[in-house]
Structure 1
Amino acid sequence: MASFRKAGILFFVLMVPALSYIIYRFGTTNYYTLPRFIPVIDSTTNEPVMHKVTDQFGERTDTLFRKVPGFKLTDQDGKPATEALRKGKIHVANFFFTRCGTICPKMNTNLSRVQDIFKDRNDLVFLSFSVDPINDKPAELTAYAKRMHALPGKWYFLTGDKAQIYNLGQHGYFLPVVDHGVSYGSPDETFIHSEKLVLVDKEGIIRGFYDGTDKKDIERLTLEIRVLIDGYNKQA
């Protein structure tokens, strides 16, 4: 009898954790949501601005976040390019220039791999803004796009008004973009830009920053794009 009692206790000890995991894993709904970045700040109170939103959970009060502003530039095909490229889509943005010999090749090679993973997603695009628009004309961008195996209609390389691009980088995507005006030496000594990739949702709100030269961060970007897509699928 004692042996049966011990066996019963052992069974209970072993099975409870397993059953608990099964209930947690399959009997509950788990959500992994991404943070939102860059809230709108009230200039009088220095506090985030709040507003009412209505979603699948009903009406509630939430923080108001900045949205990436629009633009009027030119793509690698010489066609006018505006924020319509990303309207109603998730997008990943970065800043680069074709003569860059430091972080750009690795950053954009990694971005090319992410593009290939999501090549069949019509609701995701990639936008690469040149910080050297004087030299990066459509012809240079076309050649660069080919080297990066950019898919037409999927990955856009953009050039145009320099002031607009720099303002977009600094105040739209909140990345450092600087031209030191050095007329000698390597172009990398003149143009300072970030290695960051920026993930933006369909509403134009920043959802993540990632080191474009880091393998683990690229994996995180890939995962979090899937999370965003899954979130929109759940809302449909």
Structure 2
Amino acid sequence: MSKNKSYIGISFIILVFGILVVPRIVERIKNDDIVKSDRLNIESGNGRNKNASLYTKGPAPDFSLTDQNGKIITKADYKGKVYVLEFFFSTCPTICPKMNANMLKIQDAFFGNRSFGIASITINPENDTPDVLKKHAETLGVKSENWHFLTGKRDYIFDLANKGFNVYAGQLPNGNNGGFEHSGLFALIDKDGNIRSRKDKDGNPIIYYDGLSDQGVADLEHDIKILLDE
């Protein structure tokens, strides 16, 4: 007898749930509310919240450099655009080929979007003249008119990297690794010229994206889309 009462009780609870809750779920599906609210709980493979508000570090440093076409490019030329910035050099035998390949993926993902750009700044300007950078861009298969390969005075560029963006770039006295070393980080900059980034699973801003890993590039592409929609 007690078992029958238990079954009746459970059946009653299920009936009430169906009457009160299921219609609300159906209504939320019609209004797309489930998607809107539950997106905030989706995380990427490395535990980073993919849809949390992006952190604003502050304004990116001003710069004025010459691109592969001999044109002076400044931070102002990227005003109103979301862009990714890196430091590299064309003869780099170590991490640059991987960075180049990943930056090409980013180019292709947003190709044709005039609100997106890329800035690649050489840390070996003595070798990387505009003509050299133009050939380098052609060899890579660069198609975007908003991807500028930039060169200038070495001390100016090193200060821009180490003091402006606070990403390491240096020269090696023994000539190893092509004579220079640098980080494999990509900076993400919004339409207003601010450095932006996502936060890690503990809520700390990552500041810059790993340009050497597939996950870092996937995170970057996702966050570029967020900024393009802002």
**What's the TM-score, normalizing by structure 1?**
0.74
Distance in 2 (alpha carbons) for counterparts of 1:127 and 1:21: 47
Deviating above 4 A after TM superposition, structure 1's stretches of 4 or more consecutive aligned residues are: 1-5, 11-24, 26-31
Number of aligned positions between the proteins: 200
Distance in 1 (alpha carbons) for counterparts of 2:189 and 2:219: 14
Distance in 2 (alpha carbons) for counterparts of 1:21 and 1:195: 47
Percent of pairs with identical residues = 31
Q: 1:210 aligned to 2:202?
A: no
Contact 2:83 2:190 in 1 (8 A): yes
Paired position in structure 2 for 1:224: 223
SS of match in other structure, 1:122: coil
Distance in 2 (alpha carbons) for counterparts of 1:105 and 1:21: 50
Distance in 2 (alpha carbons) for counterparts of 1:88 and 1:122: 10
Contact 1:96 1:193 in 2 (8 A): yes
Contact 2:122 2:149 in 1 (8 A): yes
Distance in 1 (alpha carbons) for counterparts of 2:95 and 2:64: 26
1:126 maps to which of 118, 123, 127? 118
By how many angstroms is 1:213 displaced? 0.9
Using CA pairs under 8 Å that are at least 6 residues apart, name the structure with larger relative contact order, 1 or 2: 2
Contact 1:73 1:81 in 2 (8 A): yes
By how many angstroms is 1:92 displaced? 0.4
SS of match in other structure, 1:92: strand
Q: 1:75 aligned to 2:63?
A: no
Distance in 1 (alpha carbons) for counterparts of 2:228 and 2:120: 21
By how many angstroms is 1:206 displaced? 1.1
Contact 2:68 2:130 in 1 (8 A): yes
Q: 1:25 aligned to 2:34?
A: yes
Contact 1:119 1:154 in 2 (8 A): no
Q: Which amino acid aligns with 1:34?
A: L
SS of match in other structure, 1:93: strand
Identify, as 1 or 2, the structure richer in helix. Answer: 2
By how many angstroms is 1:69 displaced? 2.4
**Structure 2: runs of 5+ lacking an equivalent:** 41-50, 198-207
Distance in 2 (alpha carbons) for counterparts of 1:32 and 1:186: 38
CA deviation profile, 1:52-88 (whole Å, cap 9, x unmatched): xxxxxxxxxxxxx3x2222221111122222232122
Change over 3 Å in CA distance of 1:227–1:163 after alignment to 2 = same
**Bigger radius of gyration, 1 or 2?**
2
SS of match in other structure, 2:60: coil
CA deviation profile, 1:75-124 (whole Å, cap 9, x unmatched): 11122222232122111000000100111011111111111111122111
SS of match in other structure, 1:36: strand
Q: How does 1:1-236 map to 2 (within 5 A)?
A: 6-12=10-16, 16=21, 19=24, 23=28, 25=34, 32-37=52-57, 65=58, 67-182=59-174, 184-187=175-178, 190-208=179-197, 209-230=208-229, 232=230
Q: Which amino acid aligns with 1:198?
A: A
